[in-house]
Amino acid sequence: MRVPQFWYTRNLLAYLLWPLSQIYCLLFYIHYFAARFQKKITLPTHVKIIVVGNVTVGGAGKTPTVLWLIEAFQSRGFQVGVVSRGYGRLSKGMQTVSQSSLAEVVGDEPLMIHQRTQVPVVVGEDRPKAALTLLEQHPEIDLIISDDGLTHYALPRHAAVLVIEGKTRFGNGFMLPAGPLRAPQSIQKKVTAKLCLGGTPAAQELSAQVHAIKFINVKASHKTLSVDAFQGKICYAVAGLALPNKFFDSLRALGITIIEKAFPDHHLYTKADFDTLKDYPILMTEKDAVKCKDLNIDQAWYLLIRLEADMALLDRLIQRIGV
């Protein structure tokens, strides 16, 4: 879904929808308490679980954060695996992600995580079962990162990271459908660390920035271009994101004149989506590229980005999980 702009101000429509947001809040707490009292799975004592998520709908930067955590913990000697629900996929049930997996089967973000890092990834609506499946397949794993698992309390956790989009933050402060919150802001009190991506961090928040690294050809990944390769040129900008303007703005910051082509979040692309994009190079995100690799699109490139986070995040998490 695309995030509606009225979620970022307290306007008439938001106030009209506010009663519905109270119903949503009630349902959230029913789910919350049911999960808290649900019997937890038993994990080997050496296995730790860190959940990463946000309290707003889409676009906070969870996946770049997960990628950063994978690399950071691997550098400290951890054997890392990932579980995820796999939003946007057409299939149901448990799936193990491989290099040849399809985004419509496992989800675009889990596929991107696996292709970028090669760590084991299992997707499933039942996160505890996904964690057990991951450990059955890879008993060497001693750290599981739950992607977008902040409000899924059925899965035990040793630490939690709340990711905050630094510019839009919590919008108008209302819960769905009157605002962008899918969980109360009070959940912040239950996390190990709060990571602010972009913008100015508030008190007790750690900072992180996303940096553009290079452009990679969607069809032939061995072909790369520098981040200034399209400076001063006209390009199509394709984004299937909840907040596509974040990507569009990042391209403009690189000096590129763009023609915007926004699609719904987790959109599953077909060749027809690109039939009219003939005159200029096509630029997209890595999340979009994993769904377009086999579409044989000429002159399509994705922007490789990397998160640079305060190393205090890693230290705080290691201290919390007690290793």
Answer yes or no: is pLDDT of 299 > 70.
Answer: yes
Average pLDDT of 81-100? 92
- Residue pair 70/78 in contact (Cβ under 8 Å)? The answer is no
Q: pLDDT for 118-136, tens place per residue?
A: 999 999 999 999 999 999 9
Would you place residue 60 in the very low, low, confident or very high pLDDT band (cuts 50, 70, 90)?
confident
Q: What is the pLDDT of residue 322?
A: 83
Would you place residue 176 in the very low, low, confident or very high pLDDT band (cuts 50, 70, 90)?
very high
Answer yes or no: is pLDDT of 226 > 90.
Answer: yes
Answer yes or no: is pLDDT of 222 > 90.
Answer: yes
- Taking the C-alpha atoms of residue 158 and residue 311, their distance in angstroms, rounded to an integer, is 19
Average pLDDT of 157-173? 94
Q: Between residues 323 and 226, which one has the greater pLDDT?
A: 226
Average pLDDT of 249-262? 97
Q: What is the pLDDT of residue 227?
A: 97
User: CA torsion 90→92→97→100, rounded to 10°?
Assistant: -40
**Mean pLDDT across the chain, nearest whole number?**
94
Say how far residue 31 (Cα) sits from the centre of its chain.
Answer: 22
Selection from 244, 243, 245, 256 nearest residue 282 by Cα? 256
- Measured at the CA of 189, the angle between CA 187 and CA 194, to 5 degrees, comes to 90
Q: What is the pLDDT of residue 1?
A: 61
Report the share of the chain in percent with pLDDT over 90.
81
Answer yes or no: is pLDDT of 196 > 90.
Answer: yes
Say if domain 5-208+309-321 classifies as CATH 3.40.50. Answer: yes
Q: What is the pLDDT of residue 243?
A: 87
- Taking the C-alpha atoms of residue 290 and residue 109, their distance in angstroms, rounded to an integer, is 9
Q: Assign residue 314 a region (left: φ > 0; alpha: ψ between -120 and 50; beta: otherwise).
A: alpha
Distances from the Cα of 104 to the Cαs of 107, 195, 270, in angstroms? 6, 30, 12
Would you place residue 31 in the very low, low, confident or very high pLDDT band (cuts 50, 70, 90)?
confident
Q: pLDDT for 150-162, tens place per residue?
A: 888 889 999 999 9
Answer yes or no: is pLDDT of 36 > 80.
Answer: no
Q: What is the pLDDT of residue 50?
A: 97
Q: Look-up: residue for tokens 């980005």?
A: 305
Annotated domain spans of the chain = 5-208+309-321, 210-308
